[in-house]
Structure 1
Amino acid sequence: MSTSDDQERIAFEAAVYRRLRDHLRERGDVQNIDLMNLAGFCRNCLSNWYRDAAEASGRPMTKDEAREIVYGMPYAEWQAKNQRDASPDALAAFSANKPHS
């Protein structure tokens, strides 16, 4: 693969990430626990992966900084605006399927 092909692939991947991030920002009604139960990842996972990538490149980043990049606002603000109490069924499903990292 040539350098230009690799740069194009990276640009496409970045565009896809931004589109996913923006979509999740617009869908505050979709709860993180529901994302975890259905897809095995959530907004917090994305922020952790973002932070991991930054730190792997030598750019220190706090958990709060990474979350604000993904959420588009401070995490506490997003929680107050969007987060609902999880249903007993959602909590049970999460407990049964939570990742072991």
Structure 2
Amino acid sequence: MTDTDFETTQIEAAAFRRLIQHLMHERPEVQNIDLMIHAGFCRNCLSDWYREAAEQRGITMTRDEAREAVYGLPFAQWKAQHQREATPEQLAAFEAAQRKHSG
């Protein structure tokens, strides 16, 4: 790995940590379904990507461990504290977004 590659990796890691910090502490009220509707990914996606990246490097990680790394606490605890039931409007918007981007 060159110095440039190392620096790029450090910058990417810092940006990822900032995104996680933002979602955990500054915007925990933003619902995963809203992220899926507007951005096409959510915290669960991030945790899946995190686990996949670990596994590509030979690090075994469970789904729960990856989710805790992204959510900042066990998923069930985060869900109990922050996740609300999706509204009919959110569900309709999610379905519309899925149709729009799967075609």
TM-score of the pair, normalised by structure 2: 0.90
Q: Is the aligned partner of 1:11 residue 2:2?
A: no
1:28-57 residue CA offsets vs partner (Å, 9 max, x unmatched): 110000000000011000000000001111
Cα-Cα RMSD:
1.4
- The residue aligned with 2:45 is 45
Query: Unmatched 5+ residue regions in structure 2?
Result: none
Q: Which runs of 4+ in 1 moved over 2 A?
A: 95-100
Query: Unmatched 5+ residue regions in structure 1?
Result: none
Shift of 1:60: 1.1
Mapped partners of 2:8, 2:49: distance in 1: 19
- The residue aligned with 1:24 is 23
Mapped partners of 1:95, 1:51: distance in 2: 27
Shift of 1:96: 3.0
Equivalent residue letter for 2:60: P
- The residue aligned with 1:35 is 35
Q: Secondary structure at the match of 1:5?
A: helix
Shift of 1:97: 2.7
TM-score of the pair, normalised by structure 1: 0.92
- The residue aligned with 1:82 is 82
- The residue aligned with 2:93 is 93
